[in-house]
Structure formats: structure tokens, C-alpha cells
Amino acid sequence: MCPSAVVWDSALLGYDLGGDHPFNPIRLDLTIRLANSLGVLDGIPLLVPEPATAAELHRAHVPEYLEAVKQAPMVGHDVGHGLGTPDNPVFSDMHESSALVVGSTMLAARTIAEGGARRAVNIAGGLHHAMRDRASGFCVYNDCSVAISWLLDNGFSRVAYVDTDVHHGDGVQAAFYGDPRVLTISLHQHPFTLFPGTGYSSEIGTEGAEGSAVNIPLPPNTADPGWLRAFHAVVPSLLGQFKPQILVTQCGVDSHAEDPLADLSLSVDGHRTIYRTLRGLAESCADGRWLAVGGGGYQLFRVVPRSWTHLIATVLDRDLAPRTPVPSNWVRTVRDTAPRVELPTTMTDDRDTGFSHWGDGADDAVDIAIRETRRAVFPLHGLDPDDPRD
Ligand SMILES: [Zn+2]
């Protein structure tokens, strides 16, 4: 058995919102090219996805919405369902391209469930804002929700979803808000200051599923040490208690300091550290099963390709040293598209990702968020929110 699987096909570049929309598929293309240039994918067979079927999409979406998505390119106006907006413009083959994104995450999930791999990564996935009946935040169909729903019907009764995108994972939270079998945890920039305006620590799940939704809203400008401090104050304890059979992670990289759409201040080094941490938690808490998908990330040239190459490398246990040079052939490829962008020369931002334990007085702004989240959900999991050792 190959221990890890990578899902990729260039047809996934068809999910293209067009014009100067920030969700530009070049970020995926440049990631795969960088991973290839560095040898990360050497000898790894890529799993080629098929579009998700209507029956699969209905796991997370109502039939009327599917029809609206299919019809939208012909209708062109007044399609409703969040379509035809600046965030979610109608594009040709929208249904087919969106269904392929879902199919790619489904393939990753199925490969793990059937024992073909313990880990799988799909950088094209992570469309976490899509709702049952509408598009939102650049997302048409919610691949995360469809795949988790499928896992629940195929041998998994405890699924943990951890969302490290800068935006709240609202669509996935909404899909499982009343389902105690799914623990959703989202770390994101505070909803006062960023789309979608949800993800408060008080959002904990509905009756019967209290504590199954966990939210850690972080102050703008939070950097690697603060983000990691918050993560470690909340996530490992909850996963240890919940004991998921699989860890699903949305690995959006719009939390980077250079991202044009948001205001957290993480680095490529922070992202790399997060992936290594998630891998360790999958090993210690989830029988080693880890399904990683992409997500947001709009610094197309300097950030996304490097961070997600680290993600793929981490999933494959082919960790790249931070000071690994960025290959010159990749740089030439980017220059053809973006001649004026100043490109990084190595796989690091030279940032120190060391962090200290919550409650030590080093970061009071982040600790306010940590305490609110712990007090909201820790007692529901049999944990002491005020225990400084935890
Ligand atoms: Zn995002």
C-alpha cells in the first residue's frame, strides 16, 4: 500500500472564475510545477478524479441549487442562489468544473476509506464556504461537506475537520452543526473584521451536538507565534478527547502576511509548521488517517506555491528543508506570466515559528480568544478550560 496519495489532474484548472478574480487557478498550476521541480512528486502516481455525481452532490446541496448552477451559464442573469455576484460570477462549465473539484476530494476520501492510502492531499479542494442552497466566497459546491458526509456513510462515525484558512469555515460548520459525529474546528481572523462574519466562539453546535463546533477567532495581525499558541491551546486536547477516525483539514493559506484579502500575518514557515503539526495529530489521534485539502490563498506567486508544496511534501513524508532553493526553471515559468513579481529564492520566509504556552502573559490579545473558546467548549468535552497545564 502506498502510504500517501496525491489527487491531481490539470482539468481541475477549469474551476476558473475568470477576469481578474483573485481565485485564479494559476496558483494550483504553479504549486504542482514547483512540487515537480523540487522532486516532491517523483515516483508518486497521481490519482485522476472524475466529476462527483448528482447523488454525491445532493449530500451537501439541494437539487434546485444544482439545477441553478447547471442552468446559470445559459441564463446569464437573475439566477439567484448567490450566483452571478462579484464573488461568485457565472462561468462556462461551472457545474462540471465544480463537480470535478468535489470528485477530487471524494477520490481522496474514498482512497483512504478503502485502505489505498492512510493520507491523501487534494490542493484543488477546500471550498468551505459553499452552502446547501447557494454559492458563497468563491465556492460553488462544498467538497469538504460532501466528502465528510460520504465518510459518515462508509464506516466512519467520528470525523474531525480542522480549518486553518484565514476565513471561517462556515459552510462545513453549517452542514454538520447538529451532528455530534463531526467535530469542526476553525481558526480564523475575527468575524468583526473579515468575511463571512461568522465564527464566534459562542457558535458551538445545536442541541444534542453542543461542543461539536469550535471556533477560534483571532485578532488581525496575529502572526505565527500567536496562531500556533492558539492552536496548541485548543486543538490537541479536543482531538485527544474526540478520538476521530480520520482528520480532515482545510489548509487555506490566505492567513499569510502578504495575502491581499485578509489581515493575519503568518509566514510560509508558519504554514509548514502547521502541516507538520496536523500530520502529528493525525498520527496520534486519528489512526494516522489524514485527508488534506487546499482552500484560500491569493498571493499567487510568492506564497501559495511554496506553502502548498510544503503541504504535499509533508503529506508524503518528504519534508523540505526551509532553506531549499526555489528551482530556477520554476522561476523562469513564473516570469513568463508575471515578469514584475519579485520571487522568493528559497522555501522559507526566514521567520521563527517558536511560540509559548497560553496564559504565560506573552500574548494577552490571543489569550482572550483562547479563553473564550476553551470556556465555550472544553467542559462539553470533559476538559477543564482553566487548567494551565493543558
Ligand atoms: Zn479563505
- What domains sit in the chain, N to C, each tagged with a CATH number? 4-381 (3.40.800.20)
Tell me the per-residue pLDDT of 176-223, one tens digit each, with 9 for 90 and over: 999 999 999 999 999 999 999 999 999 999 999 999 999 999 999 999
Output the pLDDT for position 2.
61
Q: Is 297 helix (H, G, I), strand (E, B) or coil?
A: coil
Q: Which of 61, 129, 167, 188 is catalytic?
A: 129
137 alpha carbon – ligand 1 mean position (Å): 8
| CA atoms of 64 and 69, how far apart (whole Å) | 9
Q: What is the DSSP letter of 167?
A: S
Among this protein's residues, is 168 annotated catalytic? no
Q: Is the peptide bond before 196 cis (omega within 30 degrees of 0)?
A: yes
The C-alpha cell at 35 is 512540487
Establish how many alpha carbons lie within 13 A of residue 180's alpha carbon, considering only the half-sphere containing its beta carbon.
8
155 alpha carbon – ligand 1 mean position (Å): 30
Q: Cβ neighbours of residue 55 under 8 Å, at least 6 residues apart?
A: none
144 alpha carbon – ligand 1 mean position (Å): 14
Look up cell 499558541; give the residue: 229
Establish how many alpha carbons lie within 13 A of residue 313's alpha carbon, considering only the half-sphere containing its beta carbon.
25
Amino acid at 362: A
| CA atoms of 161 and 146, how far apart (whole Å) | 13
Q: Which helix (H) or strand (E) holds 7?
A: strand 4-7
Q: What is the gyration radius of the CA atoms in the chain, in angstroms?
A: 19
Output the pLDDT for position 53.
98
- Are 296 and 253 in contact by the 8 Å Cβ rule? The answer is yes
297 alpha carbon – ligand 1 mean position (Å): 7
| CA atoms of 334 and 349, how far apart (whole Å) | 19
Global pTM reads: 0.98
Sheet with 159-163: list strands edge to edge: 46-47, 4-7, 119-122, 290-293, 246-250, 159-163, 182-189, 213-218
Q: What is the DSSP letter of 240?
A: H
Give the chain's residues under pLDDT 70: 1-2
Provide the 10 A C-beta neighbour count for residue 343. 14
Output the pLDDT for position 390.
86
| CA atoms of 116 and 163, how far apart (whole Å) | 24
